[in-house]
Chain A
Amino acid sequence: MTIKNSKLVLIVSFFIGISGRAQGDISGNIETIFQYLNEDTLIGAIQPPEKALINSYANINYRNSGFKAGVRMEAYMPRILGYPDRFDGAGLGYRYVGYENDLVDVTFGNFYDQFGSGLIFRAYEDRALGFDNMMNGMRLKLKPYKGVTLRGIYGNQRLSFQNGENRYGAGTVRASDLELDITQWVPTMEEKQMRLNVAGSFVSKYQRDNNIDLVLPENIGAYGGRIDVGYKRFFINGEYIIKEQDPSQDNNYIYNHGNAILINTGYSKKGFGVLFSAKSLDNMSFRSDRDAALQDLWIGFIPPLTKTHTYNLVATLYPYESQPMGEVAFQGDLFYKIPKGSKLGGKYGMDLAINFSTAYEPIRRTTGFTPMNETRVAYTTRLFDKSDLIYWRDLNVMLERKIDKKTKVKVSYFNILFNNDIMKLVQAQGLIESHIGVIETQYKINRKHSIRAELQGLWTVGKRDRGNWATLVVEYNISPDWFFSVIYQSNYGNPIPENQVDYPTVFVGKIWGATRLQVGYGRQNEGLFCVGGVCRFVPASNGLTVSFSHSF
């Protein structure tokens, strides 16, 4: 028996052991995505030599009387198209054991966690994107007194999954976080509908100095605090993080400190909500290996201050990505329900949502600095000190109205300015501005049958980049278990006539409670797709895609 087989037998006997003798709860899920691909040079889709690709996952969690354990088996044979090349083979990708009660919660093995907004520490999984920086080590969570939560973490981060085995990054991550919920100590605060929550974090990474030219710091710390204040329906929260000297490939081995601030404030009442967010950061690439690149081994997470769009053309063509090396960004939102019975609101009222977001390059002052002298401190910056170089701007307005008992209409407009010199996503250089309009209608034929259609148009100013696009989506739903949909996307306005490509796709799906089977065929542009009631990211392809998921 090979070692791999013996492992499998043990895993099986583990669960047979559980089910045979003791009770407890088992939960988990299975997900499989299969692709059979055709070659399609027009959209750059290549047929891999294997022709058929598959990603498969099985998560199994067990818990009983405070004891918990779980595994995730993963298989990439080989991985589906567009999935990061960090995944290969089949095997055990995640395992943990732990115990918890009201005082302690301890986990050994693999785990995910996040401190505050994640700026200083976030280990998470986004399977659709192929992102997974889980920890391998131990975590202790202690609740010694009401309102007090202390967390301590020690471990290495997952870098890749090669030949069915996890590979972890070179650096060790040590992290701790103390959170105080003051509201629980002051009884009058709750009566007055006030809340106050403060916390502090310290994260340190260790990596041996592997550079022959420079004396690199081996232990690098980052620290910061956060506060969350609320009064009735008003809130303001913020987090500020400082990162010590962290010379890395990302920052070209400079010895600057990094810093980041994130502030959110909002007010809402029934039928009305406003939100404003601001973010300023510099030199905040924080990874557990100084030589890492791409999406590898991030310790911190920089949330993009932009709305997550769901219409295909809006979400997929010019999306914004956070710039960990530096950005100054703002976002504002307004939600308003135009009242029932008013002229605009009609019988059912009308929803209005406006969102604005923008991001700029921070100013880096280099006067008085000799580039790369012995201190290797390259410049100074100040919070919210922005230059005129714009990275991104997005203004969008959405109106939604129920016409009668059966019909709903939603109209949206988006204006997006995208700096491709920074984002480097497409061929065109400089700023690309686009106008996007979407009309969506839904008609409920009867209690079980309904039809939904979307018409989307995108026009780039001056026909820049790939010019104009249109997408038509028609979806027929039979509640609760069937859906059929057709998506027809066309790059009809591409300035290069040979590239005026059409992307037709059909989908059929069947749902049995917590089990879904979905079959799609056609040519797909990459991006976030929402089909048959579920959203996920899909890469560009031409061929057959079958996805199956089941929860238990």
Chain B
Amino acid sequence: MKLVTFLILFSVLPFFGFTQDKHQNLLEKTIPGVDLKNLNGQTINTANISNDGKPVIVSFWATWCSPCKKELNAIHDEYDDWKEETGVKLIAVSIDDERTKNRVTPYVDGQGWEYEILLDPNSEFRRAMGVNNVPHTFVIDGSGKIVYSHNNYSPGDEDLLYDFITALAEKN
């Protein structure tokens, strides 16, 4: 019965008027705030992810996930062009846990990636973002809304992602 009390409480809570922009669709989402560390040991709250009104790619990956690495390597080959043309920034969120977390820095540098890397060793951000499996790639538009979500990687997906970001950048 404790559970029932709990649920009654929270069925009622929303009626106490948490008001926001009335036009916002419930499924139009922003990024949830989770404290993650970057490779310099600094704590970054994911709610603060932004890119001066330009799009951000958030890609969940792991050092043990070969399709993830393929995707990030394929984007890496063209990343300079993407940045120049669209101003996009890619944030690669590693879900490597304690077993493999320390390989992230040497791997990233070994590959020469210039992405911003965040570490999510206990899958807190992954859970908050509703990610089932990796790779999972999101695009956040200039106003902070999640506008693209894709849970897979096949060669060629990066071209579609590029088309999407180009269209998004032109809209702004």
Chain A residues near B (Cβ < 8 Å): 3, 6-7, 10-11, 13-14, 17-29, 31, 59, 61, 63-65, 67, 69, 92, 95, 97, 100, 109, 112-114, 117-118, 122, 124-125, 149, 181, 183, 193, 195, 197, 228, 230, 233, 235, 237, 264, 266-275, 277, 301, 303-310, 333, 335-337, 351, 353, 442, 444, 447-450, 477-480, 483, 509, 511, 513-516, 530, 532-536, 549, 551-552
Contacts and interface: CB of A to CB of B under 8 A. Distances in A.
Contact of B32 (A23, A27, A230, A515): A27
A450 B152 contact: no
Contacts of A303: 97-99
A125 B123 contact: yes
A530 B6 CA distance: 40
- Interface class of chain A by DSSP: strand
A333 B106 contact: yes
Contacts of B111: 335, 337, 351
B43 A181 contact: yes
16 contacts: A27-B129, A114-B121, A118-B121, A181-B41, A195-B41, A233-B105, A273-B109, A335-B106, A335-B110, A336-B110, A448-B156, A450-B155, A477-B155, A479-B160, A513-B151, A533-B152
Given A303-B99, A551-B129, 15 more contacts: A18-B14, A21-B17, A22-B17, A24-B20, A64-B18, A67-B18, A114-B122, A125-B127, A268-B105, A273-B106, A309-B64, A480-B156, A530-B66, A534-B151, A552-B27
Contacts, number: 266
Interface string B77-95: 0000000000000000000
A310 B154 contact: no
B105 A273 contact: yes
Contacts of A25: 26, 29-30, 32
Contacts of A310: 64-66
- Of listed B7, B110, B135, B156, residue having the most chain A CB within 10 A: B110
A29 B126 CA distance: 11
Contacts of B40: 193, 195, 230
Contact of A228 (B11, B41, B97, B123): B41
Contacts of A333: 103, 106
Contacts of A450: 154-156
Contacts of A447: 156, 159
Contact of B156 (A195, A309, A444): A444
A282 to B, nearest CB: 19
Given A477-B155, A533-B153, A533-B154, A10 B41 contact: no
Nearest to A277: B102
Given A13-B11, A335-B107, A511-B150, A23 B128 contact: no
Given A230-B40, A511-B152, A274 B6 contact: no
Contacts of A61: 32, 127-128, 130
A530 B68 CA distance: 11
Contact of A533 (B106, B135, B148): B135
Nearest to A27: B130
A268 B109 CA distance: 6
A11 B112 contact: no
Contact of B152 (A20, A95, A534): A534
B110 A112 contact: no
Contacts of A516: 132, 151-152
A271 B106 contact: no
A471 to B, nearest CB: 15
Given A112-B124, A337-B111, A480-B152, A29 B131 contact: yes
B10 A69 contact: yes
A117 B122 CA distance: 10
Nearest to A232: B40
B117 interface: no
B29 to A, nearest CB: 5
Interface in B139-164: 148-157, 159-160
A535 B134 contact: yes
A275 B103 contact: yes
